[in-house]
Structure 1
Amino acid sequence: MRLLLVEDDERVAAALVAVLGRHGFQVRHARSGHEALDALVPDGNEPYRVVLLDLGLPDRDGFEVCSRIRAHSGVPVIMVTARADVRSRIHGLNLGADDYVTKPYDMGELLARIHAVVRRWPATGAGTEPGDQPAQPGPLESRGISIDRERRRVSVDGRDVPLTRKEFDLLALLSQSPGVVYRREQIFSEVWRSGWEGNGRTLEVHIGSLRNKLGLPGLVEAVRGVGYRLIAEQPRTDPASPDSGR
């Protein structure tokens, strides 16, 4: 599995390369933002499965590098940095980082986080440039929904539906196992990287927005007191039923 490490500290990078290599990763070390962006240009080799991105780079800020990566690629990005303040964490995640790990960190936890983002974004066997990947509608075809995880695009009956990053992540998570109830705690852990306590309204707003934008109010079903699940099959309605058309 190929991994791009963006780190200007040679001592830190050497230790990471050694440990990651022992765990089966083929690591390329980029020492600057410019080198990192060059490394992500498709070259016919196996695409990188994840990028570990330091923020304090010699030529440009890591936030800028993340933004430029996200503009051209869906490759998972984990920010690994000494910047532990909440504002930096929020800014990084809003720019498109899939996770944010602060130094010093436990190597076992970092490995677990790497494997977690890789599981959420499985390999497709093509380059990292958007446009290289065919859409993969999966189990939602029966409702006309196509989810292209690589390009982070969604369409309904051939119509592109613009979603925010969190809306897309929410739909992508629920669509992994249609019909399975995802607990609110799990949704916030996976999508917002935080606990759900006190944030229930945020989840409700995103669910409502997702339903409205897709034009499918019955797509995501609330399970009272537990969480939400995605209904992949088109619900059948009884014209005589008072609930028809809801």
Structure 2
Amino acid sequence: MKILIVDDEKLLVKGMKFNFEQEGYQVETAYDGEEALRQARDKNLDIIILDLMLPKLDGLSVCQKIREFSNIPIVMLTAKTEDMDKILGLEYGADDYITKPFNILELKARVKAIMRRITPIAPKGDRTRVRIGAVELDYNQRKVTIDGKTTDLTSKEFDLMDLLVTNPGRVYSRDNLLDLIWGYDYPGDARTVDVHIRRLREKIEPNAAEPKYLLTKWGAGYYFNEI
């Protein structure tokens, strides 16, 4: 697995690089946003750890630009504790975030969890595709096709679609979804789910303001409407 670590704190990068190499990762590094974007375009990467505050091009802009050409998993690092910074990171396409200072063991666990989810090993009882109503999930490419239109999804978006689509009509609360998709020890809040549902609706619904697939049961949660 090849990982790109992006941060302008060189000692921190050195420490992360050492720890991930000990886990068997091939590690690339960058110290500013422009270099990070270049490597994301030019190199065959598996995951990116991306700091929010970077010289030349900030982490949010880098994340947004990467999402224009790639769905590679991105974990955002932030020294800020304001919820808005975390929500913005998710809005711009990050899969996860972790706040500095952090425990390297937690960061490695987050990365491993993401990589496990996106590794296509015998999905759904050896099926590589599942079709429910008008929606088809491709587990190898981690894409969704609705009425003949194929859409790329980030790893968390695909995991959410997989859970909801394969359990049509079942209502999941935001806490349920946090537990099932992000893990029981995930430190984020329920707005993380709202952000991902909103992004999914923008991608797959004919009209995100009036969704027909990903519906809300007010006071209860979200569910997939099989059409």
Q: Report the TM-score, using the length of structure 2 for normalisation.
A: 0.69
* Distance change >3 Å, CA 40–CA 150, structure 1 → 2: farther
Tell me how far apart the structure 1 counterparts of residues 76 and 69 of structure 2 sit (CA, whole Å): 17
Q: Structure 1 residue 71 and structure 2 residue 61: aligned? A: no
Confirm or deny: 8 A CA contact 1:99 1:193 kept in the other structure: no
Deviation at 1:36, TM superposition (A): 1.1
Task: Indicate the SS of the match to 1:140.
Answer: strand
* Cross-structure match for 2:22: 22
Which secondary structure state, in structure 2, belongs to the residue aligned with residue 79 of structure 1? strand
1:128 aligned partner: none
Corresponding residue for residue 107 of structure 1: 104
CA RMSD across the alignment:
4.4
Give 1:119-198 correspondences, 5 Å limit: 119-122=116-119, 138-141=128-131, 143-147=133-137, 154-159=144-149, 170-174=160-164, 178=166, 184=173, 185-189=175-179, 190=181, 194-196=188-190
Where does residue 33 of structure 2 map in the other structure?
33
Amino acid at match of 1:22: Q
CA contact (8 A) 2:95 2:156 kept: no
Per-residue deviation, 1:35? 1.2
Provide the aligned length of Structure 1 versus Structure 2.
206
User: What's 2:10 paired with?
Assistant: 10
User: Using the alignment, how far apart are the partners of 2:178 and 2:53 within structure 1?
Assistant: 28
Q: In structure 2, which of residues 44, 53, 60 is the aligned counterpart of residue 56 of structure 1?
A: 53
Partner of 1:80: 77
Relative distance call for 1:74 and 1:160 in structure 2 (3 A) is closer
1:241 alignment counterpart:
none
* 1:88 to 1:116, Cα distance in 2 relative to 1, 3 A: same
**Structure-2 residue corresponding to 1:244:** none
Matched to 2:27, the amino acid is V
Offset of residue 160 of structure 1: 5.0
2:143, 2:129 → 1: CA distance? 16
Structure number with bigger Rg: 1
Q: Supply the AA of the counterpart residue of 1:63.
A: L
Q: For 1:23 and 1:143, locate their aligned partners in 2 and report how far apart those are by CA, in whole Å.
A: 42
